[in-house]
Structure 1
Amino acid sequence: MDRDSLVFLAKLAEQAERYDEMVDHMKAVANNHNVELTVEERNLLSVAYKNVIGSRRASWRVISSIENKGDSERSEHIKAYRQKIEGELVDICNDILTIIENNLIPNSSSEEGKVFYYKMKGDYHRYLAEFQVDDERKESSDKALESYKQASTIAMAELPPTHPIRLGLALNFSVFYYEILNSPDRACNLAKQAFDDAIAELDTLSEESYKDSTLIMQLLRDNLTLWTSDQEPDNTDANQGDMNVQDVE
């Protein structure tokens, strides 16, 4: 099937919320070793994988919560179900990570594209680290950190502070520091710096990226509010546990 048809079918699958099929179509596009994805194509690929991984991450959190409540009579069934979901998470993450490593990064000619893919690489190693333990968790965490740092080096040099990809990188990198490395200070510093830098240049923001950039800036601020309140020793907000850390595609 030709490239245009695959992209069309991916859009159709997205509208129908059939994300596994959307992945199949965009994977076929991305697996062409000699072709750089357009901005639209890379966004479709990202949305497809974000949805298939997102539903399983949510499932894993639910099952883990049930498992932690300790229903001893059914513990083996619960554990087996959790492990089944983890197997699916591993397959999805390894799938997209292979595509990023072998095709997308080598074929990317723009600095913006490289930031996008290194960020994506960091995200999927982070998703692995969310449920892995011991040496596996450390390996995924180290790879996520390396990928986020590579993305940040390029972004800081080549993209303006208000660029939505640079802001999205800062958001997800700060979430990684907070949730995976348990480093709230570094998470807050990174998020605050990104927010402040963007605010300082808000008047230069292009109309086409205004909505995306300001949305991510709001998410940065929301996370900062949550994280700083978590660190207050006298925090007694009864609703605090219901708030969720935010990241982006």
Structure 2
Amino acid sequence: MSSFVPYHMEFEEPLTREEYVFLAKLCERAERYDEMVGFLDKMVLGTSSLGELTVEERSLLCMAYKGLVCSPREAWRVISFIEKNGGCRHGDHATIIKAYRARLEADIASICGRILGLLDSHLNLSACSIDSKVFFLKMKGDYHRYLAEFKVEEERNKAIEDAMAAYKEAEDIALADLAPTHALRLGVALNFSVFYYEILNSTEKASRMAKRAFDLAIADLDNVDDESYKDSKPILEFLQDNLRVWTEERMSEL
């Protein structure tokens, strides 16, 4: 009886920039985010004279890391909820829960460290356009925010400080050089306000920031073409949803 022997295709790496992008798209379709990240990392680190990433390339990189970190972050939230709400009251089970939570935190920290290293060593340095600078600074703020979600004491303070600095720099550039309706400017406002709400527990500051961004964008909608509006519309909806929730929260506390 013959047995099945799997065939493993080996790529003759390094591949071209276009080949790495093509493979990343395949991985995205298959939801193989770990491999997607690997191919895009190799593109950034291994392609000589890479220069600035294209809009497509940076979007793929963002989706790859977001897809990779999403699962352990969601799992961490579930396990933390169980731990805090006494899902298992026996000592042995509590120890197991704590150990598993620590493993998830290590996974998240590894992913965040990987992209933050890439941002500091390559992506932020090669960013020339306003869009690229804002995009990667926002991304830097996001991954420091993810670390701040579970880090404690000095490590948490450092993650908060680094997230704040990245978001603030992205915000300063966006406010100076991008239209109020620009998707990147709105994205910075959305994530920065979430940082204030979730990490700093400042509902008032988060609400003010989100409302300002939303109101300025709505006032400028007449100057937006259909394509730009398509990009901005979902972010405006997120801002509006957050504002409603945060306003109701503040009213209930009065």
Q: TM-score, normalised by structure 1?
A: 0.92
Alignment of 1:54-133 (within 5 A): 54-70=70-86, 71-73=88-90, 74-133=93-152
1:53 equivalent in alignment to 2:69: yes
Q: 2:16 maps to what in 1?
A: 2
Letter in 2 for 1:180: I
Measured on the aligned residues, the alpha-carbon RMSD in Å equals 1.2
Q: CA deviation at 1:234?
A: 6.6
1:18 equivalent in alignment to 2:32: yes
Q: 1:241 maps to what in 2?
A: none
Q: 2:54 maps to what in 1?
A: 38
Q: Find 1:151's aligned residue among 159, 170, 178.
A: 170
Identity of aligned residues (%): 51
Query: Whose RCO is larger (CA < 8 A, sep 6+)?
Result: 1
Q: Find 2:187's aligned residue among 168, 173, 176.
A: 168
Quickly say closer, same or farther: Cα 1:234–1:156, change in 2 above 3 A. closer
Deviations 1:172-218 (A, max 9, x none): 00000111111111100100000011011101112222112011001
In 2: Cα distance, 1:148 partner to 1:84 partner: 28
Q: CA deviation at 1:30?
A: 2.1
Q: For the Cα contact (< 8 Å) 1:178–1:184, is it kept in 2? A: yes
Q: 2:43 maps to what in 1?
A: 29
- Structure 1: state its 5+ residue gaps: 236-249
Letter in 1 for 2:99: A
Deviations 1:24-54 (A, max 9, x none): 1111122247421111000000000011111
In 2: Cα distance, 1:225 partner to 1:69 partner: 27
Letter in 2 for 1:38: T
Deviations 1:121-162 (A, max 9, x none): 000000000111111111100100000000011101111000
Q: 1:239 maps to what in 2?
A: none
SS in 2 for 1:72: coil
Name which one, 1 or 2, has greater alpha-carbon Rg. 2
In 1: Cα distance, 2:95 partner to 2:41 partner: 35
Q: Which runs of 4+ in 1 moved over 3 A?
A: none
- Structure 2: state its 5+ residue gaps: 1-14
Q: 1:228 maps to what in 2?
A: 247
1:178 equivalent in alignment to 2:188: no
Deviations 1:39-90 (A, max 9, x none): 1000000000011111111010011111113223201111110000000000
Quickly say closer, same or farther: Cα 1:61–1:7, change in 2 above 3 A. same
Question: What is the total number of aligned residue pairs between the two structures?
Answer: 235
Letter in 2 for 1:57: R
Q: For the Cα contact (< 8 Å) 1:60–1:85, is it kept in 2? A: yes
SS in 2 for 1:87: helix
Quickly say closer, same or farther: Cα 1:234–1:122, change in 2 above 3 A. closer
Q: For the Cα contact (< 8 Å) 1:33–1:103, is it kept in 2? A: no
